C-alpha cells in the first residue's frame, strides 16, 4: 500500500518538476518582462526617426520567423511626444534622425510636437549622421544639432520627378486610352504623354513653392541665420562636412554616437556613466510602459479611425497587391464597433490616403454620413487627403489639415490598356465568340471603338459630377464654385483653407481636442483613445484559426519584401500606385487618386 501511495502521490519528484517548475518559469518570465516596463526616476529618452513615417504600422508586413525591423509609426511618434512633454522623469530627449523620406505635412506636425516638448522644459537634441534636407529640417526644431564625427549634410533643395512610360510601352506594343476629368487630373499623363502638361507643371510648382518657402523660412529662423544665407548654402555648396556645418551655424557640435550618449547620461547621473546605469530609455520601451491610452482619465473615449493607404473595393484586387490599403469592409467594421461602444462619445477620422477606387470612396462616404448622425466626426488630414481620400473627409463636422497637407485633387480618371501591338509582335492568335454587342468591348486585346469609348468617357464624367456635387453639398458651395476648385487641382493645406475645402489648420491632437468638445467630454479630463481598425498580425490570425488572413498577410509581406529589394525605396510607391491597374486586374477602373506625391528627402 505504501508503494502504491508513493507512486501515485503528487509530491514525488517527477510530478513536482512537471507542475511546479513551469509555474516558476512563468512567474520569473512575468517579473522579467514587467521589469522592462518599470522606468528609472530620471532618464534620457532616445527616439529614432527614420524611413517613410508610415501613418500606422502594417502588421502584416512582417514575415513569420523574421524580424520586420519596422520603425515607429507616425502616430506612435505623435502620441509618444505628447506624453513625454508632461513626463517629469525625462531629463532630455535624443532624436536620432536619419533617412527620413516623408510628406512635408508630417514633418511640420512632428516639428510642432518637438516644440511642445521643448516648451515643457525638456532639452531636445538632434543627432544627425549623413543627413539630407528632410532630416535637417526636422532637426532644426530641436534645441541643438550634433553631427556625427565624419558625417555630412547634403542640403541640395527640392525636386519633383515624374517618369513617362508612353514611348517605352509603345515599343513593345502596349498603348492606353484615357478619360480625364478634368485637365488638372494628371494621373493619366505618364501613360499617354511623353512629357508633363502645363497644368501639371503649374500645380506641382505651387506645391514646391509652398514647401520650399516653409523649409527656408523655418530652418533659417530656428538656426538664427538669414534666409538668403541658407539658400546660398543650398545653391552653392549642397554637400557640407560636419566641421563646415558647425562653422556656418547650421549645427552646434560634432560627436560620435557613443560620446553623445555618455554626455547626455552623465548630465542625468551627475557623474561619469558606469556600466549598468539605466538612464538611456529607448522609444519602444517607453511606449510600452505608458500604453495603453497614455494615462487617460475616466471611461469616456474617442475612437480614432485611421484611413491609410490606397482605397480599394472590398474583395477586389487589393488582396493581390504589394501594398496594404483600405476598403469598405474595414471601415464598416471600425464604425460598427465605435458606434456600438457607449463609452465612445466622438470619432476622429485620420486620413493619410491619395484616394483610389472612385466607387469604393463613395461607398465609404455614405457610411461616414450615417455614422455622423449618431456621433460627431472630426477629420484630421495627415500627409495627404486627396481624391477619394478627400471625399471621405466630407462627412466630418469639422476638417483639420496641416499647412502643407496635400489636399483636393477632386477629379476622376480612367485608363484602358490595349495590347494589340504586343499580340501582333508575338504572333498570338485569338478567337472570340460573344453574345451581346459590348461583350468584348473592354478586352485588353483591342482598343475601344468610338461608341464604347464615348460610354467610357461618359461614365467618368458622371462620377466626376457626382463627386463635385458631394463637395458642394458638404462645403455649402454652389456647384460652379465647387467645380472651380476641383478639376483635379491639388492644393496645399493653407491654400485649401482659402479655397473653402477645409475648416481649420491643425494636427491630430487639435482634432482630438475638437472631438472632445463636440462629444461633450469633460475638458478637465483626458479621454481614452481607442484605435481602429484593429489590425491583426500573422501570428494573431494563425492563433485564431484565420488561415486565410494568415495566408493573405504572408503573401503581402513577401511581395513587399521583394519589391523593396528590387526597387529603390524612393521609387517603390509610384510603382505600387499603378500595380493593380496594370499588372493584376486588366479591368476598367474609375480612379479618384492623386497622380503623384511630394516627398522631402
Known catalytic residues are 185, 387
What secondary structure does DSSP assign to 503-518, as a single string?
A: SEE--HHHHHHHHHHH
- How far is the C-alpha of 191 from the C-alpha of 134, rounded, in Å? 30
Quick one: cell of 94? 535624443
Per the CB < 8 A criterion, the answer to whether 359 and 311 are in contact is no
Per the CB < 8 A criterion, the answer to whether 348 and 512 are in contact is yes
437: left (phi over 0), alpha (psi -120 to 50) or beta: alpha
- How far is the C-alpha of 430 from the C-alpha of 419, rounded, in Å? 12
Query: How distant, in Å, are the alpha carbons of 8, 28, 311, 355 from that of 21?
Result: 19, 10, 51, 55
Q: Facing residues of 240 across strands?
A: 153
Residues 6+ apart with CB under 8 A from 42: 89, 91, 268, 279
User: Around Cβ 250, how many Cβ atoms within 10 Å?
Assistant: 24
Torsion of CA 371, 373, 379, 385, to 10 degrees: 60
- Indicate the helix (H) or strand (E) that contains 280: strand 280-282
- How far is the C-alpha of 353 from the C-alpha of 309, rounded, in Å? 5
User: Around Cβ 455, how many Cβ atoms within 10 Å?
Assistant: 13
Q: Residues 133, 138, 141, CA angle at the centre, nearest 5°? A: 135
Q: Which of 360, 28, 345, 403 is nearest to 210 (CA)?
A: 403
- How far is the C-alpha of 532 from the C-alpha of 288, rounded, in Å? 18
In three-state secondary structure terms, 220 is helix
What is the radius of gyration, based on Cα positions, of the chain?
27
Amino acid at each position: 500500500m505504501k508503494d502504491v501511495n508513493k507512486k501515485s502521490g503528487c509530491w514525488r519528484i517527477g510530478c513536482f518538476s512537471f507542475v511546479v517548475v513551469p509555474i516558476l518559469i512563468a512567474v520569473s518570465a512575468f517579473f522579467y518582462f514587467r521589469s522592462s516596463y518599470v522606468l528609472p526616476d530620471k532618464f534620457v529618452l532616445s527616439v529614432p526617426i527614420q524611413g517613410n513615417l508610415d501613418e500606422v504600422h502594417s502588421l502584416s508586413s512582417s514575415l513569420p520567423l523574421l524580424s520586420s525591423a519596422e520603425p515607429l509609426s507616425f502616430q506612435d511618434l505623435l502620441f509618444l511626444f505628447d506624453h513625454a512633454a508632461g513626463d517629469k522623469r525625462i531629463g532630455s530627449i535624443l532624436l536620432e534622425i536619419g533617412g527620413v523620406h516623408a510628406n512635408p505635412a508630417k514633418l511640420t506636425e512632428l516639428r510642432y510636437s518637438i516644440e511642445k516638448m521643448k516648451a515643457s522644459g525638456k532639452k531636445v537634441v538632434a543627432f544627425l549622421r549623413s543627413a539630407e534636407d528632410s532630416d535637417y529640417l526636422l532637426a532644426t526644431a530641436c534645441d541643438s544639432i550634433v553631427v556625427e564625427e565624419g558625417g555630412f549634410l547634403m542640403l541640395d533643395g527640392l525636386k519633383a520627378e515624374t517618369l513617362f512610360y508612353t514611348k517605352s510601352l509603345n515599343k513593345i506594343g502596349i498603348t492606353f486610352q484615357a478619360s480625364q476629368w478634368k485637365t488638372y487630373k494628371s494621373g493619366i499623363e505618364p501613360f499617354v504623354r511623353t512629357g508633363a502638361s502645363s497644368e501639371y507643371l503649374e500645380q506641382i510648382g505651387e506645391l514646391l513653392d509652398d514647401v520650399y518657402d516653409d523649409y527656408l523660412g523655418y530652418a533659417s529662423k530656428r538656426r538664427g541665420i538669414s534666409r538668403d544665407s541658407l539658400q546660398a548654402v543650398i545653391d552653392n555648396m549642397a554637400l557640407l562636412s560636419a566641421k563646415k556645418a558647425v562653422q556656418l551655424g547650421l549645427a552646434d557640435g560634432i560627436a560620435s554616437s557613443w560620446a553623445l550618449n555618455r554626455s547626455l547620461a552623465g548630465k542625468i547621473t551627475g557623474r561619469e556613466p558606469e556600466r549598468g546605469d539605466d538612464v538611456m530609455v529607448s522609444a519602444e520601451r517607453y511606449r510600452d510602459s505608458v500604453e495603453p491610452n497614455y494615462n487617460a482619465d475616466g471611461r469616456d473615449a474617442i475612437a480614432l479611425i485611421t484611413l491609410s493607404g490606397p482605397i480599394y473595393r472590398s474583395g477586389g484586387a487589393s488582396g493581390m497587391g504589394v501594398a496594404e490599403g483600405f476598403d469598405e469592409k474595414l471601415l464598416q467594421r471600425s464604425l460598427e464597433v465605435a458606434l456600438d461602444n457607449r463609452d465612445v462619445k466622438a470619432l476622429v477620422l485620420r486620413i493619410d490616403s491619395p484616394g483610389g477606387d472612385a466607387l469604393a470612396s463613395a461607398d465609404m462616404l455614405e457610411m461616414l454620413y450615417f455614422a455622423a448622425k449618431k456621433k460627431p466626426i472630426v477629420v484630421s488630414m495627415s500627409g495627404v487627403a486627396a481624391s477619394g481620400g478627400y471625399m471621405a473627409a466630407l462627412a466630418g463636422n469639422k476638417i483639420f489639415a496641416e499647412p502643407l497637407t496635400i489636399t483636393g485633387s477632386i477629379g476622376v480618371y480612367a485608363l484602358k490598356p490595349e495590347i494589340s501591338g504586343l499580340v501582333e509582335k508575338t504572333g498570338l492568335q485569338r478567337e472570340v465568340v460573344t453574345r451581346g454587342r459590348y461583350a468584348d468591348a473592354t478586352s485588353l486585346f483591342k482598343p475601344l471603338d468610338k461608341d464604347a469609348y464615348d460610354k467610357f468617357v461618359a461614365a467618368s464624367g458622371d462620377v466626376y459630377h457626382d463627386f463635385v456635387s458631394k463637395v458642394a453639398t458638404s462645403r455649402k458651395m454652389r456647384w460652379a464654385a465647387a467645380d472651380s476648385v476641383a478639376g483635379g487641382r491639388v492644393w496645399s493645406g493653407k491654400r485649401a483653407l482659402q479655397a473653402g475645402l477645409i475648416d481649420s489648420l491643425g494636427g491630430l491632437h487639435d482634432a482630438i481636442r475638437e472631438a472632445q468638445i463636440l462629444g461633450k467630454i469633460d475638458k478637465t479630463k483626458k479621454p481614452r483613445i481607442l484605435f481602429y481598425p484593429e489590425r491583426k498580425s500573422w501570428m494573431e490570425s494563425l492563433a485564431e484559426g484565420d488561415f486565410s488572413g494568415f495566408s493573405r498577410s504572408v503573401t503581402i509581406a513577401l511581395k513587399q519584401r521583394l519589391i523593396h529589394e528590387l526597387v529603390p525605396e524612393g521609387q517603390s510607391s509610384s510603382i505600387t500606385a499603378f500595380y493593380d491597374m496594370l499588372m493584376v486586374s486588366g479591368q476598367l477602373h474609375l480612379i479618384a487618386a492623386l497622380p503623384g506625391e511630394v516627398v522631402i528627402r
